[in-house]
Chain A
Amino acid sequence: MPAAVEVAGVTKRFGAVTALSDLDLRVGMGEVHGLLGPNGAGKSTLLRVLFGLVAPDAGTVALFGRDLREGTPEALAGVAGFVDRPHFYPYLTARRTLELLGAVDGGTPEGAVDRVLAEVGLADVAHRRVGRWSTGMVQRLGIAAALLRRPQLLLVDEPTEGLDPGGARDVLALMRRLAADGVTVLLSSHDMAEVDTVCDSATILSRGRVASRGSLAELRRAAPLGRHHLVTSDDDAARGMAARHGVHVFAHAQRGLAVEAGPAEMHEFICDLGRHDVSVVVLEQELSPLTALFFELTAA
C-alpha cells in the first residue's frame, strides 16, 4: 500500500537560503503525523511543496502514490488544507466563498456547505462578508473549506492559531475524529503539546532538515527528562530526598525547586515526600520530555 505522503530527497532553495535540504518524509495511510519545528525550520515550505505551490529543486513527492507535478490538479485529488493562515476574499460572504470553492472542485452535494459551516461553528455568520472577521473565524472558515473537499489527506499549518482555547480543543478533536474516519492528517505546528495531544507520530525539522522522527512513544523514549516546578513545605528536606531517587534538583528561578526526572522516579520521589510529612504546595510541569527534546534538537 502506498504511503499517503512520500517525500524523498527534497531540496528547495530561495536564492541563497536553503529552506529544505535533502528531506525525506513518509506518512502512512490514516496516520496523524505532526510536523514540528521552530519558525523558519521549513514546515510551511514543505507543505507548499506538498500542495504543488512550490516546485522543489530536487527530490520527489508522491501523494497516495501519485507523483506530484506542479500544475497537475489530479495529483491533489483527495487532498485539502491550508498553508500559513488561510485567506479569503473580503467582499464575499462565507457561504458564497464555500459555494465558489465547491464549484472549483466540480460542485458540492446539496446541503454540504451548510453542514461544514455548522461543523466549524460558523452557521450563524455564514451570510456575513469575510472582510472584517477575526483571525479565529477565518481559521475556522479555512477548516470548513478543507472539509468541503471531503479530504483523504488533510494538510494543515498551525490550525489552532488564533483560536480561543475552546476552539483549539474542538479543532484538535476534529483532527482525531477525521483520523478515526480514516483520514490521514499532517499537522504542522510549533507547539509540542498540541502534537502530543493528537498525533501518532512526528517529524521534527530544524533548518530544513529532519532532526528526528518516529512514533510519539519512540520520541518520548529518546527525550531528555522532563522538568517540574516543585514547592514543598520543606524544600531543604525535599532536596535531600531527591538524590535517593535519582532526581536532579536545583534552585528554581522564582521559588522552590526545579526538578528533572523521568515519570517513574518522579512518582517515587513524590510518594517519599508524603511518607516524610513533606507536603507538596506546588507541582507543575514546566517542560514535558517531548518539549525538552524539541528544544534540544532545534536549539530553539
Chain B
Amino acid sequence: MTAVLATEAVAAPPRTGRPGWAVMWRVELTKLLSQVKVRAALVACVVVPIVFTLLESTQSSVPGDTLFGRWVHESGFAVSLFLLAFTSQWGLPFLVAIVSGDVCSEEDRLQTWPLLLTRSRSRGDVLAGKVLAAASVTVAGTMLLAISSTLSGVLVVGTQPVVGLSGAVLSSGTALAATLASWLVVLPPVLAVVAIAVLASVVSRNSWAGVATPVVVTLGFGLVSQFSAADLVRPLLPTAGFDAWHGLVRTGVYTAPIRESMFVSAAWIAVCVGVSAAVLHRRDVVQ
C-alpha cells in the first residue's frame, strides 16, 4: 500500500437530494444488469420470439391447441398473441424467477448484507430499491417480448387482420392495438409474481428456493384453477390475471377481468412486500 493519501484528501460525500429508495433503485438496477443471467434473459426475450417466428414460418402445420396458434401463418398479430398465451404460463414466471428470485437471497449467499446495511440507507430503502429494480427489469423483459414478437410476426407473416376470440375478424389496426394492450394487461400479475419471488427470496434466504418459488407457485396456482371446487378462490389468485387480456382480443371488448386483475395483483404485491419488509426489518444479520 502506498501512503499517497491521507483521509483529508477525500472530501465528505455530498448528499444528493434523491430519496433513499430512488438511490437504491439505481444501485440495484446496476447490480441486476451486471449479472450474466439477467442479461441473457433479456437477450432471450428478444431472440426467442424471432427464432420462433422464423421456425414456425417454415412449418406446414400450426400449434392449433394454443390460443391463436391456428392463425400464426395468417397474421403477424396472431404470432404475438400466441406467444403471449404461451409465455404467460411458462415464460414470464421463468423470467421473474431469473430476475427476482435471487434479488435478496443473493445478499445471503454472497454474505453482502453488511455491505449495504452499514452505509447510509435504511433496510426499507434497500428493500424498496430491490423490489423496484426487479420489477423494472421484469417489465422491460416483458416489453421486449411484446415488441420482439409483434415486430417479428408483422415482418415475417404480415399485418393481416386476425380472427378474435369472439370469432369475428379484427382489423389490422384493431389487432395491433389489442395485441399491444394485451401485453400491457399481463403486467399486473407479472408484478404480483415478482412480489411473491421477492418474499420467497427474503424469507428463504436461499437462492434456489427464491428462483424456484415463482415458477412453482405459478404452476401451482394454474393447477388449482383447473378444479371446479376452486371457483371461489380462482379470482383471488394473481395468475387469473394472466387471462384478463382475452377480453381485449374480441369484438365487444370487456374489461372487468382487467380491473379485477389489477386489484388482486395490487393486494398480492402489498402483502408480499409488506411481509418482506417486516421480516427484513426484524432480522439479525449474522452471516
Contacts and interface: CB of A to CB of B under 8 A. Distances in A.
Contact of B10 (A77, A79, A88, A116): A116
Given A106-B14, A107-B16, A183 B7 contact: yes
Contacts of A178: 7
A173 B260 CA distance: 65
A149 interface: yes
Nearest to B28: A100
B218 to A, nearest CB: 27
Given A53-B284, A91-B35, A120-B1, A82 B10 contact: no
Interface size band for A: 35 or more
A53 B16 contact: no
B122 A73 contact: yes
A91 to B, nearest CB: 5
B217 to A, nearest CB: 27
Contact of A91 (B14, B36, B125, B286): B36
B51 interface: no
B137 to A, nearest CB: 15
Contact of A54 (B36, B123, B284): B284
Given A89-B112, A150-B12, A170 B1 contact: yes
Interface in B88-138: 110-125
Nearest to A93: B34
Given A82-B118, A100-B30, A71 B8 contact: no
A87 B118 CA distance: 13
B106 to A, nearest CB: 8
Nearest to B118: A51
Contacts of B24: 104
A80 B125 CA distance: 19
Contacts of B4: 115, 118-119
B120 A104 contact: yes
Contacts of B180: none
Nearest to B9: A115
Contacts of B14: 106-107, 109
Given A90-B110, A92-B31, A150-B12, A80 B118 contact: yes
Nearest to B24: A104
Contacts of B1: 119-121, 140, 167, 170-171, 174
Contacts of B115: 86-88, 101, 145
Interface in B1-47: 1-16, 20, 23-24, 26-27, 30-31, 34-36
B259 interface: no
B267 interface: no
A101 B120 CA distance: 9
A120 B142 CA distance: 43
Contacts of B112: 87-89
Contacts of A140: 1
A81 B125 CA distance: 21
B114 A53 contact: yes
Nearest to B31: A89
Given A140-B1, A178-B7, A72 B34 contact: no
A54 B125 CA distance: 18
B10 A48 contact: no
Nearest to A152: B7
Given A83-B114, A171-B1, A177-B3, A72 B122 contact: yes
Contact of A53 (B10, B13, B110, B113): B113
B36 A118 contact: no
Contact of A71 (B5, B9, B123): B123
Given A87-B112, A177-B3, A181-B7, A81 B118 contact: yes
A55 interface: yes
Nearest to B284: A54
Interface in A140-186: 140, 145, 147-151, 167, 170-171, 173-174, 177-178, 181, 183
Contacts of A101: 115, 119
A232 interface: no
B285 interface: yes
A108 interface: yes
A177 B9 CA distance: 13
A38 interface: no
Interface string A98-131: 0011111111110010011011110000000000
A18 B147 CA distance: 58
18 contacts: A45-B286, A52-B117, A53-B118, A54-B284, A55-B284, A88-B112, A91-B36, A96-B30, A96-B34, A100-B30, A106-B23, A107-B14, A112-B10, A115-B10, A119-B4, A149-B119, A151-B7, A181-B6
Interface of A: 14, 45, 48, 51-55, 70-73, 76-77, 79-84, 86-92, 96, 100-109, 112, 115-116, 118-121, 140, 145, 147-151, 167, 170-171, 173-174, 177-178, 181, 183
Interface of B: 1-16, 20, 23-24, 26-27, 30-31, 34-36, 110-125, 281, 284-286
Task: Report, nearest first, the 5 A-B pairs whose CB atoms are least far apart.
Answer: A170-B1, A53-B285, A87-B111, A119-B5, A121-B1
Given A48-B114, A106-B15, A118-B5, 13 more contacts: A14-B284, A48-B284, A53-B284, A54-B286, A55-B284, A81-B118, A83-B114, A105-B13, A107-B14, A119-B4, A140-B1, A151-B7, A177-B6
